[in-house]
């Protein structure tokens, strides 16, 4: 079955060599895919990093954050860096890594791993010492929090969108249900499938669709704004995002999401209070008022522990999908906040 990466052609690869993951597995010939937009100014003061969401690549992140008219982040003004995550099919992933680390034998990956690799890209490959802004939606929000906690001297401003500093227990269980649905497909065979586990992937998408949008979105028949006639078609929307993707690739990313914690690293040794206090960047933390994954109250608690942060809730019925900017008002609300920080 064709992989969605087949349609993505314009990107660069950073060769990381032997990369040791947090799980202590060393992966030979590790690669980080990325794309840049715009030009770095002579002062090196206009660099922005956008972290990608769970459902796609740098191409999808560009669509969310920089494409369209009058966007807050513009390649005409900014040097935009969008790194791909491990497990997205472009960077090193189960689907593109040779034996003995292919498929289900690919190392366990954390957000910490991704951000460490991205830091090498920014500093060693691109020669940048300051980031004017780090932002991202969903898993991009998780990465944004990590960037600000791990490299506070580099990050001037941070805007996590529909993300958190640590994955909550409720969020973890939701993600576990996705994995369980996919892995229950008899074709999956413990990750050593020889044919595409279509039933499992469709179940994954159906569950995701119910949670990605709010109850109020369905009550108001918001799906009609997507050109659909019935809520029963919503699974097809998520199918566009997740199929065709390699299932092992997808599981690498969802497990990284499950285990996200800005304090779970040698810098903070599990002290979440210290990790939040270590985020010195100006921050606007932006949950959706109706997100069923990343609850606003969790962000309120996190902002309370950050020295220079503001909690600003997106007033949307679109649930987690508010951060995608599918609704014009939601996109404008987020862009306005970013403009306040970067001009």
As a whole number of angstroms, the distance between CA 29 and CA 290 comes to: 42
Average confidence score pLDDT of the chain: 95
Q: Which pLDDT score, from 0 to 100, does residue 158 have?
A: 98
- Which tokens go with 310? 């503001």
Task: Read off the pLDDT of each residue in 148-176 and give the average, rounded to a whole number.
Answer: 97
Catalytic site residue 138? Answer: yes
Which CATH number applies to 4-168+262-342: 3.40.50.1820, 3.40.50.1000, 3.90.550.10, 3.40.50.920? Answer: 3.40.50.1820
Q: Is the model's pLDDT at 1 over the cut of 60?
A: no
Catalytic site residue 320? Answer: yes
Confidence band of 55 (pLDDT split at 50, 70, 90): confident
| From 58, 78, 146, 320, active-site residue | 320
- Residues in contact with 283: Cβ distance below 8 Å, sequence separation at least 6, in sequence order: 148, 157, 158, 159, 160, 303, 306, 308, 309, 310
Among the ranges given (18-27, 117-126, 217-226), the one the predictor scored with the smallest mean pLDDT: 217-226
Whether the ω angle into residue 277 lies within 30 degrees of 0, i.e. cis, is no
Tell me the β-bridge partners of 288: 314
- Which tokens go with 46? 């206009």
Q: Which pLDDT score, from 0 to 100, does residue 255 have?
A: 97
Q: Which pLDDT score, from 0 to 100, does residue 243 have?
A: 78
| pLDDT tens-digit readout, 27-40 | 999 999 999 999 99
In terms of Cα–Cα distance, which of 286, 299, 261, 73 is closest to 149? Answer: 261
> For residue 308, how many other CB atoms are within 10 A of its CB?
11
Catalytic site residue 58? Answer: no
As a whole number of angstroms, the distance between CA 229 and CA 234 comes to: 10
As a whole number of angstroms, the distance between CA 276 and CA 27 comes to: 30
- Domain extents for the chain? 4-168+262-342
Among the ranges given (3-12, 101-110, 324-333), the one the predictor scored with the smallest mean pLDDT: 3-12
Confidence band of 150 (pLDDT split at 50, 70, 90): very high
Cα angle value 270/112/72 (rounded, 5°): 115
| pLDDT tens-digit readout, 225-262 | 988 899 988 888 788 777 778 999 999 999 999 999 99
| pLDDT tens-digit readout, 258-313 | 999 999 999 999 999 999 999 999 999 999 999 999 999 999 999 999 999 999 99
| From 60, 261, 264, 291, active-site residue | 291
| From 138, 263, 288, 316, active-site residue | 138
pTM score: 0.96
Q: Which pLDDT score, from 0 to 100, does residue 242 have?
A: 79
């Amino acid at each position: 079955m064709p992989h969605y990466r087949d349609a993505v052609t314009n990107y660069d690869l950073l060769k990381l060599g032997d990369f040791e993951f947090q799980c202590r597995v060393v992966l030979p010939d590790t690669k980080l895919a990325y794309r840049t937009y715009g030009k770095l100014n002579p002062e090196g003061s206009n660099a922005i990093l956008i972290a990608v969401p769970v459902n796609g690549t740098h191409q999808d992140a560009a669509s969310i954050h920089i494409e369209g008219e009058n966007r807050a982040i513009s390649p005409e003004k900014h040097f935009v860096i969008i790194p791909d995550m491990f497990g997205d099919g472009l960077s090193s992933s189960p689907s593109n890594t040779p034996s003995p680390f292919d498929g289900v034998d690919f190392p366990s990956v954390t957000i910490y791993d991704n951000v460490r690799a991205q830091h090498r890209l920014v500093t060693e490959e691109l020669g940048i010492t300051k980031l004017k802004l780090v932002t991202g939606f969903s898993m991009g929000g998780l990465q944004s929090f990590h960037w600000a906690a791990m490299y506070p001297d580099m990050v001037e401003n941070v805007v996590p969108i529909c993300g958190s500093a640590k994955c909550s227990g409720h969020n973890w269980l939701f993600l576990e249900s996705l994995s369980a649905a996919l892995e229950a497909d008899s074709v999956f065979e413990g990750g050593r499938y020889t044919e595409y586990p279509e039933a499992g992937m469709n179940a994954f998408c159906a569950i995701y669709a119910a949670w990605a949008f709010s109850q109020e979105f369905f009550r108001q028949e918001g799906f009609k704004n997507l050109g659909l006639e019935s809520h029963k078609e919503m699974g097809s929307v998520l199918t566009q995002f997740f199929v065709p993707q390699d299932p092992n690739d997808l599981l690498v990313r969802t497990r990284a999401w499950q285990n996200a914690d800005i304090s779970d690293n040698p810098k903070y040794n599990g002290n979440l209070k210290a990790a939040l206090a270590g985020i010195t960047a100006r921050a606007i933390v932006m949950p959706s008022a109706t997100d069923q994954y990343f609850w606003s109250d969790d962000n309120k608690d996190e902002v309370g522990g950050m020295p220079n942060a503001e909690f600003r809730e997106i007033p949307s019925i679109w649930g987690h999908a508010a951060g995608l900017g599918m609704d014009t008002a939601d996109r404008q609300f987020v862009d306005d906040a970013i403009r306040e920080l970067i001009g």
